[in-house]
Structures are given as C-alpha cells and as structure tokens.
C-alpha cells in the first residue's frame, strides 16, 4: 500500500532536548536564545528526560509511565532540536539514555521521520564538534532526518547570552537566527515529503 505524503502547515511544534541536566547550563541559555531568534512558525516545548531510569530491554514488555510520557512528548512534536554540551569527547550519558528509550522497543522508534537539528555550546574552542558527530551518528541510525547545514559549534564566553535569551554579539545573533530560519526551511521540506510521524 502506498502512503501519501501529508503537507504540514505551520506552526510546527519543536521538541527541544537540552543535553545538560544542570539548571545553569550554558546550553539551556543557548536554547532560550534560539527560541527567541526563531521564526514565528516554530513553537517550542522542552522534552524532559531527567527522571528516566537507565534503559534496559527488560522494560520493553512494560514501559514505565515516565517513559510512556517521554515518548508521548516526542510524538507530539513535528521536529526535534538537540542543544548539547560535550562530555569526554561525546554526548552526555543522560541524553544517550533518553535516545535509547525513544528508539525502543524494536519497531516503536518515535524518532523515525522527525526532522532534527543539532547545535551546542562549550567554553572550548571546538564548541561541541565531537559530541555533535557522535549524536549525528546515533540520529542517523534512529532514522531521524538531520539538517546538515549550517553546522553550529558555538564557543561560549561570559555574557554572550543574557538572562532573557538576548545575544550580545551581533554576528553570533545573526548566525543563530540564520540557523533557525534554515531549520524551519528544512522542517517544511521534510514534512512536505514524508508522511506525518506517528
């Protein structure tokens, strides 16, 4: 049976994964700036995963309610935005654990077909580049279409982003605004061509 593509009209609901669990995370600040700079066709909600236990296939027969709620939040999203730091040259363990929960049980992967973008900030010069490559590999296997350009590796300096999400360096603000416009364009293309994810 052939599945007919369904065109999605904006606004698009974007689920945001913040890779750090720290309340004062610079990546949480970056997520706030991205939301502030995004086109109005994008609406944001955070995908919360702090309370997920460590994934084991022993759960596959009967997912706990916290995992059911987590997967439902992803299913309620048209697209996904990953804003993550870099830990030991990779993505944070809790974020990897969350993706494992999202992709299981076998055949019930809620990441499939959802357009995604990856960005991150660190105080180091390479700005989460290695973590992003690890995450991109995982998302590729999980069948989540990815925006490949522009790439965004942000070196975070004190005062770069204010408490209300304002970006204090004009060139950085312009770049992040462009990143979000491109994400809207990418999301529109993917959701126009692919059937709506279930």
**How many CA atoms, within 13 angstroms, populate the side-chain half-sphere of residue 127?**
13
Q: Are residues 112 and 144 in contact, defined by beta-carbon separation less than 8 angstroms?
A: yes
Spatial separation of the C-alpha atoms in residues 8 and 26, rounded to whole Å: 32
> What is the pLDDT at residue 171?
96
> What is the pLDDT at residue 46?
98
> What is the pLDDT at residue 185?
97
Q: Which three-class secondary structure state does DSSP give residue 85? A: coil
> What is the pLDDT at residue 198?
59
Q: Which three-class secondary structure state does DSSP give residue 93? A: helix
> What is the pLDDT at residue 12?
96
Task: Evaluate if pTM is beyond 0.85.
Answer: yes
Which positions of the chain have pLDDT values less than 50? 1-6
Residue linked to tokens 């460590």: 54
Spatial separation of the C-alpha atoms in residues 144 and 76, rounded to whole Å: 15
Distances (CA, A) of 134 to 11, 43, 92, 97, 185: 30, 27, 10, 14, 24
Give the relative orientation of helices 26-37 and 170-193 as an angle to the nearest 10 degrees.
70
Q: Which three-class secondary structure state does DSSP give residue 81? A: strand
Question: What are 102-149's pLDDT values in tens digits?
Answer: 999 999 999 999 999 999 999 888 889 999 999 999 999 999 999 999
> What is the pLDDT at residue 3?
37
**Burial (Cβ within 10 Å: 0-12, 13-18, ≥19) of residue 88:** exposed
> What is the pLDDT at residue 1?
33
> What is the pLDDT at residue 7?
53
Q: Are residues 3 and 193 in contact, defined by beta-carbon separation less than 8 angstroms?
A: no
Token pair listed for 176 = 């992040």
């Amino acid at each position: 049976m052939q599945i007919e593509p369904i065109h999605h009209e904006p606004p698009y609901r974007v689920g945001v994964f913040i890779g750090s669990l720290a309340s004062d995370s610079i990546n949480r600040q970056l997520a706030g700036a991205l939301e502030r700079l995004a086109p109005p066709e994008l609406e944001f909600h955070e995908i919360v995963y702090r309370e997920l236990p460590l994934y084991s296939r022993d759960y596959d027969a009967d997912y706990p309610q916290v995992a059911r709620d987590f997967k439902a939040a992803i299913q309620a999203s048209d697209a996904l935005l990953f804003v993550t730091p870099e830990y030991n040259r990779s993505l944070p363990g809790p974020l990897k654990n969350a993706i494992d929960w999202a992709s299981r049980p076998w055949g019930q992967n809620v990441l499939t077909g959802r357009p995604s973008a990856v960005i991150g900030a660190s105080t180091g010069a390479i700005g989460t580049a290695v973590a992003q490559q690890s995450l991109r590999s995982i998302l590729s296997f999980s069948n989540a279409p990815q925006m490949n350009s522009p790439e965004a590796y942000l070196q975070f300096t004190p005062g770069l982003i204010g408490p209300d999400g304002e970006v204090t360096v004009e060139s950085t603000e312009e770049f992040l605004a462009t990143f979000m416009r491109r994400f809207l364009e990418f999301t529109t293309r993917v959701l126009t061509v692919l059937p709506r994810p279930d």
